[in-house]
Amino acid sequence: KNEVKDFMNASFSSNKQRKLIYTEGINKFIEKPFGYGVMSAPVRGSNAESGILQVALEVGIIGLFLFLIILLYPIKLIFKSKDLKI
């Protein structure tokens, strides 16, 4: 029973891995805020939510800013076309 429980926890509880990815990624981003270059980031995350961190590590603060603008601008246009206030 313990072997199965350990296997299930290792397979489905990825909080430790996420914490490690984010902690290491943020530390590397602070070390080099202008990025490491595309496909040269020192931290690779396999989770979908670490995509923004991956962008920050590869293209730096300027690339991250542009990525967020490209991501959020269409949302703003949609709200504007529906006459909703943000």
Q: Is the pLDDT score of 69 beyond 70? A: yes
Q: What is the mean pLDDT of the chain?
A: 78
Residue 61 half-sphere exposure toward CB, CA atoms < 13 A = 8
* Residue matched to tokens 């313990």: 2
Tens of pLDDT along 5-46? 555 555 555 777 778 778 888 898 999 999 888 888 777 665
User: What tokens were used for 39?
Assistant: 């496909």
Residue 79 confidence (pLDDT): 84
Task: Please indicate whether residue 49 or residue 39 has the higher confidence score (pLDDT).
Answer: 39
Structure-model confidence comparison of residues 1 and 74, the more confident one: 74
Q: What does pTM read for this prediction?
A: 0.65
